[in-house]
Amino acid sequence: MPYPPAAWRLLQTPPTDGPANMAIDEAILLANAEGSAPPTLRFFAWTPPCLSLGYAQPAAEADRDRLRRFGFDLVRRPTGGRAILHTDELTYSVVAPMHEPRVHGGVIESYQQISAGLMRGLAHLGLGVRADKDYVAAKVGAPKGPVCFEAPSNYEITVGEADRLRKLLGSAQVRKQGVVLQHGTLPLEGDLDRICEVLVFESEPARQAARARVRQRAATVAEALGKPVSWDAAAAALARGFAEALDLTLEPGPLTGREMVLAANLRAQKYATDDWNERV
């Protein structure tokens, strides 16, 4: 759909831990709500690797002993969905007021509009992707396990032939104080089934079955293309896709001082606390 030309901030933050990444996303949302920050497209990475749980996902599904053994962080996202192991990936977030035409409307409508930018960017990497409404019901049934990449949901971006579409990019959204925050994960390389090593299963055969489902139903960029793609190249392609598909001028800029204060407070008082991470 046509949009009036607009300028958004393009923000690339240095790799940081899970609580800080989620705090930064919410800080941008709050700054947007108070009018002290512009609509923002952010790209980021995680160090150390981090298991993130969806807003309403039971904390008991994460195996704390195994997380410590692997040296992985744990954080709960402000958005819904199921568990993701953030490593070897490009993560994006979009933060904009609900009246912004590119996120206006209901959750599905805004999701599809943002997906247009993602899909155009993935095409610049040489990927043929799609985002179907009825994929889950027609192909694999409703996803029931704790792993986000175990199966795509309606309208999520997939890659591959029609008889074997695999989830490539998972996203989730929250709306707060009149602002939309959508963030998502693009795995660049590595074994997506590693996440099963840090989740709780009723038995070892159940763990191995989940690993097999992830391998069958999800893909990395390297798998889909048959060659590796760097984080910088992926970020540049997605930025180009957003600019083209959504008629945006993306202006590189840092976090504001206000956002840095908000993020530090949110990390300390929310995302790094057991009260938040074990709320369910």
213 in a domain, yes or no? yes
Overall number of domains in the chain: 1
Pairing of strands 40-44, 89-97: antiparallel
69 in a domain, yes or no? yes
Question: H or E element: which one contains 81?
Answer: none
1 in a domain, yes or no? no
Per the CB < 8 A criterion, the answer to whether 83 and 195 are in contact is yes
Calpha distance 159→217 (Å, rounded)? 10
163 in a domain, yes or no? yes
Residue 147 pLDDT > 80? no
Instruction: Determine the 3-state secondary structure of 139 from DSSP.
Output: helix
192 in a domain, yes or no? yes
What's the pLDDT at 2? 84
Q: Summarize pLDDT for 156-203 with one digit per residue, the tens.
A: 899 998 778 999 999 999 999 999 999 999 999 999 999 999 999 999
| Confidence tier at 42 by pLDDT (50, 70, 90) | very high
- CB hemisphere CA count around 74 (13 angstroms): 24
235 in a domain, yes or no? yes
Residue 46 is classified by DSSP as B
234 in a domain, yes or no? yes
Over residues 8-37, the mean pLDDT reads 98
Question: H or E element: which one contains 100?
Answer: none
Is the pTM above the cut of 0.85? yes
Q: At 113, which CATH number? A: 3.30.930.10
Task: Give me 173's structure tokens.
Answer: 């959204």
Active-site residue numbers?
148
